[in-house]
């Protein structure tokens, strides 16, 4: 089934409501659409996510990609959904294991290189995720803010590649990989563009 779901949080004061990112792949001419009443910055995620995935040496699906940010009536802004959108696309296309996404929430804007940029509203998002008993992955640039919340499993990363490597079960003790990998990567494929040893837990 070419459907994957990732979880994130909107930035709406202290509420930080949950956003479900649904990604579906289907036949037809290659195109990507994002629905769910997104703001302009979220619509621009189409290009950022596509280039970031390709820069990380994974393959962007040559199919029709539909991304739904639910609930539709919830205002959505900024690039905070880039990371969950990218992971949903990779999971729907079988390049990362979709079952590893179930108990995690993801926040992060992607640069075209695949690196992660900081987002606002991390603190309330962590508080809500803690109440649900979920892990949270945030950009390393948000590590100081994330460290303010106790009793929540927070992982910080520098890039999309690090997050994918973690989802694929890489050990933190594994050091630098080779800097070039085959296009069309997957967890079972060769080395990709991994910059560091992996995600680090914030205590």
Secondary structure letter of residue 58 according to DSSP: P
| Tokens matching residue 137 | 């992955």
Q: What is the pLDDT of residue 202?
A: 58
* Domains with residue ranges and CATH for the chain: 3-202 (3.30.230.10)
Query: Do the beta carbons of residue 134 and residue 104 sit within 8 Å?
Result: yes
Half-sphere exposure of 132 (CA within 13 A, CB side): 19
Task: Tell me how far apart the alpha carbons of residues 19 and 16 are, in angstroms, rounded to a whole number.
Answer: 9
pTM: 0.86
Query: Do the beta carbons of residue 50 and residue 43 sit within 8 Å?
Result: no
Mean pLDDT by 10 residues, the chain (203 residues): 92 90 94 83 86 95 95 84 97 94 96 96 95 95 93 94 90 32 43 40 58
Q: What is the pLDDT of residue 158?
A: 95
């Amino acid at each position: 089934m070419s459907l994957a779901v990732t979880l994130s949080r909107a930035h709406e004061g202290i509420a930080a409501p949950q956003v479900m990112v649904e990604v579906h792949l289907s036949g037809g001419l290659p195109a990507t659409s994002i629905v769910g009443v997104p703001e302009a910055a979220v619509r621009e995620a189409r290009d950022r996510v596509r280039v970031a995935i390709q820069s990380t040496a994974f393959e962007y699906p040559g199919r029709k990609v539909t991304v739904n940010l639910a609930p539709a009536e919830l205002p959505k802004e900024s690039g905070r959904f880039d990371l969950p959108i990218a992971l949903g696309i990779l999971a729907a296309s079988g390049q990362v294991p979709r079952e590893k996404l179930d108990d995690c929430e993801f926040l992060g804007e992607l640069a075209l290189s695949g690196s992660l940029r900081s987002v606002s509203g991390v603190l309330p998002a962590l508080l809500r995720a803690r109440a649900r008993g979920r892990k949270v992955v945030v950009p390393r640039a948000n590590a100081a803010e994330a460290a303010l919340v106790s009793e929540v499993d927070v992982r910080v990363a520098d890039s999309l590649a690090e997050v994918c490597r973690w989802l694929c079960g890489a050990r933190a003790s594994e050091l630098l990989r080779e800097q070039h990998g085959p296009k069309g990567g997957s967890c079972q494929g060769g080395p990709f563009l991994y910059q560091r040893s992996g995600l680090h837990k914030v205590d």
